[in-house]
């Protein structure tokens, strides 16, 4: 094996290692985002549940002008 082939193989291995590290980082980011979405959905369910006992007509005429 000549020097050029050895260098090319080392560069290819380094590139593959970088690609694997980036792929792992992206997978972790996707998992974190999925967890955040689940937290938002859970919070919305809790918010809806807290409003379940409010009397009918409450909040219909809310003035939001500044």
**pLDDT of 3-52, one tens digit each?**
888 889 999 999 999 999 999 998 888 888 888 888 888 888 877 777 66
Q: What pTM was computed for the model? A: 0.50
- Smallest CA-to-CA distance from 26 within 34, 14, 41 is with 34
**What does the domain layout of the chain look like in residue ranges?**
1-39
Rounded CA separation 19/10 (Å): 14
């Amino acid at each position: 094996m000549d020097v050029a082939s050895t260098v090319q193989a080392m560069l290819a291995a380094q590139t593959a290692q970088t690609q694997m590290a980036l792929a792992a980082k992206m997978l972790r980011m996707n998992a974190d985002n999925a967890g955040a979405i689940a937290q938002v959905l859970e919070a919305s369910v809790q918010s809806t549940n807290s409003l379940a006992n409010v009397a009918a007509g409450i909040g219909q005429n809310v003035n939001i002008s500044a």
